[in-house]
Amino acid sequence: MNTRTLQHKVFLITKKSVQVDFLIKFFSSRMIVCAQTETLDIDESSLYASVILMIDFQAINPELIDEHMNTLNKNLPFPPIFGLFNLDQKYSAENLIRLTSWKNFRFCFLNNISEEQLLTGISAVAQGDYWLPRELLNAVLKKSHHSNDAAPKLQSTSLTKKEKVILNLISEGYSNTRIANSLFVTVHTVKRHIYNIFKKINVNNRVQAVQWLNSIDYNQREKINQGFQ
């Protein structure tokens, strides 16, 4: 994606440092509006759906993030996109699982991400996609597997064949753009199908959709897979 078309504003929630100043200048050089603040207490009038909150994992406790997002999602009809950056290689995915329940949680950037990967990730997030490390996705799926026996078996028969195909592609990590290219449809059409899928299976985001897919029993999963063939 050409970052010159990016209409989102990025808030870096982190302490001031030389590295942060460099990151702000880097975003500005790529025509991305960026500002920095040290706390989550941003005026709600400045927060809307096209705002991206990049929260420094080393500076803000995940529990505080969870509490703040609870407030924002209650107070704002269209809360801002948010995610984490500056994760080290030894981060605990288990500590982040709770954040995946929020529909506006979209990304985690490791601290070794390259500048070009960061731009690609921000652009993908702005288009409605997700940018999550495999370790976090695996942790969510493991949690789902452990709760399978206690959870009621969910019905999947209300999904159309096209929705089953798209759900499978989501579980494979496909972005909206990649799904659209694979099915020869527009990104808008993919988003509409995903909206319908989420509504039918009662989830808020892709992570929860994959978790739902892995929580249904074998026979139901086979029916979903048949839609992919």
CATH number at residue 44: 3.40.50.2300
For residues 229 and 168, the model is more confident at 168
Residue 58 sits in the same domain as residue 84: yes
Cα dist from 72 to 23, 63, 66, 183, whole Å: 26, 14, 10, 36
Burial class (CB in 10 A: 0-12, 13-18, 19+), 22: exposed
Residue 161 sits in the same domain as residue 119: no
pLDDT above 70: residue 55: yes
Residue 45 sits in the same domain as residue 124: yes
pLDDT at 144: 58
Q: Is residue 139 part of a domain?
A: no
Structural domain tally of the chain? 2
pLDDT above 80: residue 197: yes
Here the CATH number for the domain that contains residue 172 is 1.10.10.10
Range of the domain at 85: 3-132
Cβ atoms of 106 and 84 within 8 Å: the answer is no
Residue 114 sits in the same domain as residue 209: no
Tell which residue, 43, 42, 37, 40, has the closest CA to residue 15: 37
Q: Is residue 142 part of a domain?
A: no
For residues 78 and 36, the model is more confident at 36
Q: Is residue 45 part of a domain?
A: yes
pLDDT at 53: 94
Cβ atoms of 186 and 225 within 8 Å: the answer is no
Residue 126 sits in the same domain as residue 176: no
pLDDT above 60: residue 223: no
- Residue-wise pLDDT for 115-170, tens only, equals 889 988 998 888 888 888 877 777 766 665 555 444 444 454 588 889 999 998 88
For residues 222 and 11, the model is more confident at 11
Q: Is residue 140 part of a domain?
A: no
| Range 37-62 average pLDDT | 88
Give the bridge partners for 85, in sequence order. 56, 109
- Residue-wise pLDDT for 2-36, tens only, equals 444 457 889 999 999 998 999 999 998 888 889 99
Tokens 């652009």 sit on residue: 123
Residue 33 sits in the same domain as residue 68: yes
Compute the mean pLDDT over every residue in the chain, rounded to the nearest whole number: 81
